[in-house]
C-alpha cells in the first residue's frame, strides 16, 4: 500500500489514459484524506471554536487535486488561492503541520502566521495560499518565468477560481505568458460561484476557457468530478509546457458542497442543486471503479478509511498539544535582514 505524502513518478506519465490499480488506490486515499481533513476541521471550527478566520473548504473538488498531482512530478510548482488545503495536502505537506496552521500554532506550516488561507510548503514546491483574488495568477507566471530562465523542464500549476477569471491581472498575465511562452498551466477551478455570485451573473462570457482565445492560448474544459479526466487534461497541458510549448488554460468544472466560506448561509443556490452534484461525488465514482475492477474490496477500502481517519485524528491531537507562537515572533519573518531596526513606539 502506498504511503502519503506520495508523489507520482514518471511511470504514470507514460501510462497516458490507462490508470493502474496503484493510481486508483492512491487517488482514493488522497481524496479521502482531503475530505476527512476538511470535515474534521470544520467541526473544530464550528463546534469547538478552535479554528478561526476565513475558512474555505475543498469538499467536492478533491478530484482536481488528485488528477493534478498524478499528472505532475514533485519538482513542479503549485500556487493557488485561499481555498488551498486540498492542493497543499496533495503536494505532500504533512497533515500535522496543516492542522496546526489552522489552529494558529507554532508547529503550523507557516508557523501560525498564515492560517487557513495561507498554507506554504516551499520544500514540497507549494507556493501558497494567496488571499487577494487573482493575484497569484501573475505571481504563478513569475514562478514559471524563473524555471524557464534557469532552463529546467519544471512547470507551474497556477490555480484560481471562477471569480478570479474576472480580474484584470488574468488578462495581463495571459498576454505575458503567451508572449514569453512560460511553462505554466492556468487552472480555473470553476465551482460556479464567486462567493454568492454565479458565473452567469459575472460576465457575458460564461465559458471561462474561451478567455484564452484572445491570446491564442491553448485551452480545454475538463470534468472536475473525474480524477481520470483531470489527469488526462493536465497531462496534455504539462507535456506542452515541458516541451517549451507555452501555457494552457484549463477550465475544470467542479462544485463545492460547502459554502464559499464557513460562514456562508448559501441563500444563492438550492439544496437540490447541491444534492445533484453530490450524486456524482468524485470519491464515490473512484470507489465504484475500484470495486468494479476488483482493485480492492469494501473491506480493504474500509481499512484505508480507518487509516485516513486516524491520521486526521492524530493531526488534531498534534495541533492541540502544540504551543502558540512565541511572543518574539511578532517581529520575525518580516525582513530577511535580521538586523532590521523596527519602529517600536
Partner 1 sequence: MARLIAYREALREAMSEEMRRDERVFLMGEEVAEYNGAYKVSQGMLAEFGQKRVIDTPISELGFTAVAVGAAQNGLRPIVEFMTWNFAVLAMDQILNTASKMLAMSGGQINCPIVLRGPNGSAGQLGAQHSTAFESYYANIPGIKVVSTSNGYDAKGLLKQAIRYENDPIIFMESEVSYGDKMEIPDEEYYIPIGKADIKKVGRDVTIVSWNKMMKVALDAAAELEKENISAEVIDLRTIRPLDWMTILESVKKTNRLVIIEEQWPFASISSEISYRIQKEGFDYLDAPIRRLTAADAPLHYAPNLISLALPDVARTVKLVKEVMYQNK
Footprint of partner 1 (CB under 8 A): 77, 79, 108-114, 118, 120-122, 127-132, 135, 137-147, 149-150, 168-169, 172-173, 175-176, 179, 332-337, 340-342, 345
Q: How far is the CB of 116 from partner 1 (least distance, A)?
A: 12
Q: Round the CA-based radius of gyration of the chain to a whole number and report it.
A: 20
Q: How far is the CB of 259 from partner 1 (least distance, A)?
A: 24
Q: How far is the CB of 29 from partner 1 (least distance, A)?
A: 27
Question: What's the CA gap between 68 and 189, in Å, rounded?
Answer: 12
In contact, 247 and 184? CB cutoff 8 Å: yes
C-alpha cell at 35: 475530505
Residue 26: which residues within 8 A CB-CB, separation 6 or more?
Answer: 2, 6, 8, 66, 70
Nearest to 162 by CA among 250, 233, 237, 97: 250
Q: How far is the CB of 177 from partner 1 (least distance, A)?
A: 8
Q: How far is the CB of 234 from partner 1 (least distance, A)?
A: 20
Judged by beta carbon, residue 5 or residue 282, the one nearer partner 1 is: 5
Judged by beta carbon, residue 279 or residue 345, the one nearer partner 1 is: 345
Nearest to 321 by CA among 110, 140, 106, 109: 106
Judged by beta carbon, residue 30 or residue 169, the one nearer partner 1 is: 169
Judged by beta carbon, residue 212 or residue 308, the one nearer partner 1 is: 212
Q: How far is the CB of 125 from partner 1 (least distance, A)?
A: 9
Judged by beta carbon, residue 129 or residue 224, the one nearer partner 1 is: 129
Judged by beta carbon, residue 74 or residue 135, the one nearer partner 1 is: 135
Name residue, grid cell 505524502. 5
**DSSP for 232-259, written as a single string:** HHHHHHHHHHHTT---EEEEEE---SS-
Amino acid at each position: 500500500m502506498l504511503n502519503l505524502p506520495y508523489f507520482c513518478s514518471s511511470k504514470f506519465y507514460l501510462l497516458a489514459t490507462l490508470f493502474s490499480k496503484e493510481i486508483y488506490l492512491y487517488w482514493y486515499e488522497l481524496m479521502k484524506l482531503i475530505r476527512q481533513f476538511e470535515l474534521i476541521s470544520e467541526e473544530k471550527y464550528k463546534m469547538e471554536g478552535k479554528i478561526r478566520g476565513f475558512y474555505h473548504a475543498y469538499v467536492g473538488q478533491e478530484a482536481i487535486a488528485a488528477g493534478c498531482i498524478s499528472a505532475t512530478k514533485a519538482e513542479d510548482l503549485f500556487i493557488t488561492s485561499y481555498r488551498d488545503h486540498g492542493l497543499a495536502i496533495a503536494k505532500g505537506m504533512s497533515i500535522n503541520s496543516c492542522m496546526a496552521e489552522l489552529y494558529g500554532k507554532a508547529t503550523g506550516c507557516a508557523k501560525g502566521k498564515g492560517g487557513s488561507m495561507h498554507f506554504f510548503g516551499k520544500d514540497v514546491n507549494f507556493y501558497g495560499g494567496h488571499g487577494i483574488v487573482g493575484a497569484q495568477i501573475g505571481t504563478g507566471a513569475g514562478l514559471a518565468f524563473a524555471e524557464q530562465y534557469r532552463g529546467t523542464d519544471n512547470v507551474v500549476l497556477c490555480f484560481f477560481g471562477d471569480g478570479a477569471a474576472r480580474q484584470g491581472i488574468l488578462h495581463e498575465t495571459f498576454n505575458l505568458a503567451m508572449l514569453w511562452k512560460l511553462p505554466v498551466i492556468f487552472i480555473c477551478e470553476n465551482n460556479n460561484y464567486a462567493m454568492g455570485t454565479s458565473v452567469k451573473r459575472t460576465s457575458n462570457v460564461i465559458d471561462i476557457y474561451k478567455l484564452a482565445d484572445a491570446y491564442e492560448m491553448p485551452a480545454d474544459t475538463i470534468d472536475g468530478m473525474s480524477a481520470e479526466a483531470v489527469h488526462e487534461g493536465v497531462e496534455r497541458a504539462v507535456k506542452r509546457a515541458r516541451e517549451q510549448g507555452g501555457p494552457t488554460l484549463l477550465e475544470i468544472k467542479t462544485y463545492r458542497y460547502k459554502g464559499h466560506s464557513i460562514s456562508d448561509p448559501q441563500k444563492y443556490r438550492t439544496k437540490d442543486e447541491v444534492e445533484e452534484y453530490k450524486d456524482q461525488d468524485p470519491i464515490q465514482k473512484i470507489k465504484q471503479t475500484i470495486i468494479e475492477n476488483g482493485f480492492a474490496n469494501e473491506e480493504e477500502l474500509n481499512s484505508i478509511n480507518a487509516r485516513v481517519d486516524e491520521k486526521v485524528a492524530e493531526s488534531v491531537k498534534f495541533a492541540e498539544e502544540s504551543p502558540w507562537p512565541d511572543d518574539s515572533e511578532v517581529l520575525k519573518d518580516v525582513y530577511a535582514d535580521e538586523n532590521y531596526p523596527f519602529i517600536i513606539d
